[in-house]
Amino acid sequence: MPIRAVVAGHGTFATGVISAIEQITGRGAAFLPISNSGLCLDDIQGALAQAIDDSGAKVVFTDLPAGSCTMAVRRMIRERPGVLLVTGVNLSLLLDFAMQDDADTVTAVQGALDRGKASMVVYGA
């Protein structure tokens, strides 16, 4: 299975969520994890750039909108047209993206984003 996206975040966020995707769908290999642990912004940007260049991934998913991984991706994608950034991701969003093999990248990302948002529910309020 080709790598379709990079997942980047704090600590073991990326490896953890990819592990869950693998357990649920068997499609964890479609994602490449990047952790910001022990890295400065320039190092994160370098790791992300190398991951995208080596894998051909067109999407980067990050954990926090104002986090260091998101900042690094925003700086990096200026030089990489066609690479999309999706931030504030959850497991539902990533599972949906993993299951959309035959959709073009933009359609897969938008559908996953819509369903990821819709999966967030408050009970007992």
End-to-end CA separation in angstroms for the chain: 42
pLDDT cut 70: percent of the chain above it: 100
CB 60 within 8 A of CB 45: no
Q: Which residues pair with 85 in a beta bridge?
A: 60
Mind listing the domains of the chain with CATH numbers? 5-118 (3.40.50.510)
Q: Are strands 31-35 and 5-9 parallel, antiparallel or unpaired?
A: parallel
Note if the pTM is more than 0.75.
Answer: yes
Query: Sign of dihedral through CA atoms 68, 113, 21, 124?
Result: positive
Whether 7 shows a pLDDT value over 80: the answer reads yes
Check residue 86 and give its pLDDT. Answer: 98
**What count of other Cβ atoms lies within 10 Å of the Cβ of residue 97?**
27
Check residue 103 and give its pLDDT. Answer: 87
Determine the Cα–Cα distance for residues 98 and 112; give it in Å rounded to an integer. 9
